[in-house]
C-alpha cells in the first residue's frame, strides 16, 4: 500500500502546476482521497508538500492553510515551496501571511524564499511591505545576494522608486543581466532616458529580454524613434525578436505613422515567428489604421483566427480615425453578431467615427443603447464626445441641454468640445460665453484662447483677435507650435512652421519657390512645361 502511495505521490509531485487532473472539482476530490490515504498509512508528513500543492491547484486554499497548521515539522524547502505555490496561484496575501509565520517554526528564510516572497510584494504594489522585506534581507545579510538584489531592484523599479532601486543595484554583488534590465526598465518608467541608455550601453551582457525591455520602455514613454532605432540595432546584433518584441516596436512605428517601417517590421514578423499571435496581429491592425492603409487593416484583421475585443476595437477605431464612420458602424454590428461584448474603448471609437462622419442620430442611438445595456462602460470621455458631436453638427441647444443633464460637473474638456463646434459654425457670441466658462475653470488654458481667436478669425473680427493675442502676450502665454512630418525612404522628417533646421533647407525652399512660380504662371494661363 505504501509503495503504491509512494508511486502516486511521486507522479503527483511531477505534475505540471498549470495543469488540472480533469477539472478543478475532480482534482479536489482526488486530493482529498489521497489525503485520507496518507492519514491512514501514516505518511502524511512526508507527502504534505505534495498535498499542499494539489490543494492550491484546485483553488482549495482553506484546506491548504489547515494542513499547514496541522503539520508540526516544516523545513525551509517545504515552506518555500508552499509560499511559491501561493504566489503562482495569485494568493499573494496568503503567501505573505505564511512568510510572516516562519519564525514561529524556527525557519530562517534564504535567498530563494526572499526571491519568491518579493514577487508577491510586487504584485500587491506594496512599497511599505517591500521596504520591510528589504530591511529584513539586510539584517540577515542577504541583500547583496544577486538573486535577492535583482528582486529588490525589480520591485522598486516597478513601484517607481528609482532612487531605492539604484541603491539596491549598487548593493548587489556582481549584478547580472536581470539586475541591469530591471534598473533600465525603472529609468525608462521614470522617463530618465539618458540614464537608461547609459546603463544599457554599460551592460556586460544583453539577452532578448533586455532588448525587449528597452524597446517597449521607449515606446511606452513616447520615445518612438529611439524604440525603432534600438529594435533595428537589436536585429543587426543578431538577436532574434520574440512575439513580445513586435507589439512594442509596431506601436512605436504606428505612433510616428511610418508605413514603410511598419511594413518592413510586418515582413520581419512573418519571417521570424512561426505564426502571428493575436497580440502581434492587433498591433498590425492598429499600425495600418494609424497610417491610413485601411485595406491592409482589413486584410490583417480577417487573418486573425482568435479575435478578442482589442482586435475589434482596433479596426473600429481605425475606420473612425480615418473618417469612415459607416464602416466603423458596420464592424460594430458584426462584433455584436459574433457575441463579443463591447467595452468603453469600443463605444468611444464608435462615437468618434459618428462625430467625424456627421452621423449624429446614429451616435445618439449607440450612446443610449450603451446607457441601457451596460451603463458601467460609460466614462466622461463618452459624454464629452456626445457634446462635441452635437456642437459640430450645429445642434447647440441640444448640446447645452446635454451638458446641464450630465450626472457630474462638466470639466474644461466639455466646454472645449462645444468651443470647437463654435469655431466650425462661426458662433462668435456663443464662443465668448463658452470661453468665459473655460477660463473660470482654468485661467491658464492656452488652447482656449487659441480656439476663441480662431472663432473670431473665421468671422473676420480682427479687432477681437488682436485683443486676445495681446492678452495672451501680457499673461506670458506662449502657444506650443504644431508640426508636420513626411516619410521618405522609411525615414520620418519633421517640420515646424518657419523651421530652417533641416540640413537641406535651401534645396527645399528652392523647390517650393519653383512650385509656387509654376502655380502662378498656370493661374495666368501660361502653360509652362506643356507641349506647344
- The predicted pLDDT at position 31 comes to 57
Q: CA nearest 318: which of 304, 308, 302, 331?
A: 331
Residues forming a β-bridge with 496 = 483
pLDDT above 70 coverage of the chain, percent:
72
Q: Is the pLDDT of residue 532 over 80?
A: no
CA distances from 419 to 82, 323, 367, 384 (A): 60, 21, 22, 12
Q: How confident is the model at residue 470 (pLDDT cuts 50, 70, 90)?
A: confident
In angstroms, how far is the first alpha carbon of the chain from the final one?
Answer: 107
pLDDT tier, 528 (very low <50, low <70, confident <90, very high otherwise) = very low
The verdict on pTM exceeding 0.75 is: no
How confident is the model at residue 12, as a pLDDT? 46
Task: Give yes or no for residue 5 having a pLDDT over 60.
Answer: no
Axis-axis angle for helices 360-373, 325-337 (nearest 10):
30
What percent of the chain is modeled with pLDDT above 90?
A: 33
Q: Is the pLDDT of residue 356 over 90?
A: no
Name residues whose C-beta falls within 8 Å of residue 4's C-beta, 6 or more positions apart in sequence. Answer: none
Round the CA-based radius of gyration of the chain to a whole number and report it: 31
Q: Domain 379-480, CATH 1.25.40 — does that match? A: yes
313-332 pLDDT, tens digit each = 999 999 998 989 999 999 99
pLDDT tens by residue, 130-167? 889 999 999 998 888 988 999 999 999 988 889 999 99
Whether residue 231 has pLDDT greater than 70 = yes
For residue 494, list its beta bridge partners: 485
More confident site: 86 or 117: 117
Judge whether residue 1 has pLDDT over 70.
Answer: no
Write down the pLDDT at residue 489: 61
Distance separating alpha carbons of residues 243 and 172, to the nearest angstrom: 31
Domain-wise residue ranges, the chain:
326-376, 379-480, 485-517
pLDDT attached to residue 418? 73
The predicted pLDDT at position 276 comes to: 92
Q: What is the four-CA torsion angle of 147, 152, 154, 155, rounded to 10 degrees?
A: 140
Whether residue 46 has pLDDT greater than 60? no
Amino acid at each position: 500500500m505504501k509503495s503504491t502511495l509512494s508511486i502516486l505521490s511521486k507522479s503527483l509531485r511531477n505534475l505540471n502546476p498549470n495543469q488540472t487532473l480533469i477539472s478543478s472539482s475532480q482534482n479536489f476530490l482526488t486530493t482529498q482521497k489521497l489525503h485520507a490515504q496518507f492519514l491512514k498509512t501514516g505518511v502524511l508528513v512526508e507527502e504534505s508538500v505534495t498535498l499542499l500543492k494539489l490543494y492550491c491547484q484546485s483553488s482549495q486554499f482553506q484546506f491548504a492553510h489547515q494542513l499547514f497548521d496541522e503539520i508540526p515539522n516544516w523545513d525551509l524547502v517545504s515552506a518555500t515551496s508552499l509560499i511559491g505555490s501561493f504566489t503562482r496561484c495569485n494568493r499573494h496575501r496568503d503567501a505573505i501571511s505564511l512568510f510572516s509565520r516562519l519564525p514561529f517554526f524556527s525557519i530562517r528564510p534564504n535567498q530563494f524564499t526572499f526571491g519568491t516572497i518579493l514577487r508577491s510584494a510586487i504584485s500587491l504594489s506594496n512599497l511599505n511591505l517591500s521596504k520591510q522585506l528589504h530591511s529584513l534581507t539586510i539584517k540577515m545579510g542577504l541583500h547583496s545576494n544577486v538573486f535577492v538584489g535583482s528582486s529588490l531592484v525589480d520591485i522598486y523599479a516597478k513601484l517607481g522608486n528609482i532612487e531605492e532601486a539604484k541603491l539596491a543595484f549598487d548593493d548587489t554583488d556582481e549584478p547580472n543581466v536581470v539586475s541591469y534590465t530591471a534598473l533600465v526598465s525603472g529609468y525608462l518608467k521614470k522617463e530618465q532616458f539618458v540614464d537608461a541608455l547609459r546603463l544599457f550601453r554599460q551592460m556586460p551582457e544583453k539577452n532578448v529580454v533586455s532588448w525587449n525591455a528597452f524597446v517597449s520602455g521607449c515606446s511606452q514613454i513616447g520615445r518612438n524613434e529611439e524604440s525603432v532605432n534600438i529594435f533595428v540595432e537589436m536585429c543587426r546584433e543578431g538577436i532574434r525578436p520574440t512575439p513580445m518584441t513586435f507589439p512594442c516596436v509596431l506601436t512605436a512605428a504606428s505612433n510616428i505613422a511610418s508605413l514603410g517601417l511598419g511594413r518592413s517590421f510586418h515582413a520581419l514578423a512573418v519571417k521570424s515567428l512561426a505564426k502571428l499571435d493575436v497580440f502581434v496581429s492587433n498591433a498590425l491592425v492598429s499600425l495600418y489604421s494609424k497610417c491610413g492603409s485601411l485595406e491592409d487593416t482589413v486584410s490583417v484583421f480577417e487573418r486573425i483566427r482568435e479575435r478578442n475585443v482589442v482586435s475589434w476595437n482596433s479596426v473600429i477605431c481605425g475606420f473612425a480615425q480615418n473618417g469612415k464612420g459607416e464602416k466603423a458602424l458596420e464592424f460594430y454590428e458584426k462584433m455584436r453578431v459574433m457575441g463579443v461584448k463591447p467595452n468603453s474603448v469600443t463605444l468611444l471609437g464608435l462615437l468618434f467615427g459618428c462625430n467625424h462622419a456627421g452621423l449624429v442620430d446614429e451616435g445618439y442611438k449607440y450612446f443610449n443603447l450603451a446607457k441601457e445595456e451596460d451603463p458601467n462602460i460609460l466614462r466622461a470621455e463618452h459624454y464629452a464626445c456626445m457634446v462635441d458631436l452635437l456642437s459640430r453638427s450645429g445642434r447647440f441647444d441640444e448640446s447645452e441641454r446635454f451638458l446641464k443633464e450630465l450626472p457630474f460637473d462638466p470639466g474644461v474638456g466639455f466646454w472645449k468640445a462645444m468651443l470647437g463646434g463654435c469655431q466650425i459654425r462661426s458662433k462668435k457670441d456663443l464662443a465668448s460665453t463658452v470661453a468665459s466658462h473655460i477660463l473660470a475653470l482654468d485661467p491658464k488654458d492656452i488652447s482656449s484662447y487659441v480656439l476663441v481667436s480662431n472663432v473670431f478669425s473665421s468671422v473676420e473680427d480682427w479687432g477681437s483677435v488682436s485683443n486676445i493675442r495681446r492678452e495672451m502676450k501680457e499673461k506670458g502665454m506662449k502657444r506650443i507650435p504644431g508640426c508636420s512630418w513626411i516619410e521618405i525612404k522609411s525615414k520620418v522628417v519633421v517640420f515646424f512652421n518657419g523651421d530652417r533646421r533641416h540640413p537641406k533647407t535651401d534645396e527645399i525652399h528652392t523647390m517650393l519657390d519653383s512650385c509656387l512660380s509654376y502655380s502662378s504662371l498656370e493661374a495666368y494661363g501660361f502653360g509652362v512645361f506643356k507641349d506647344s
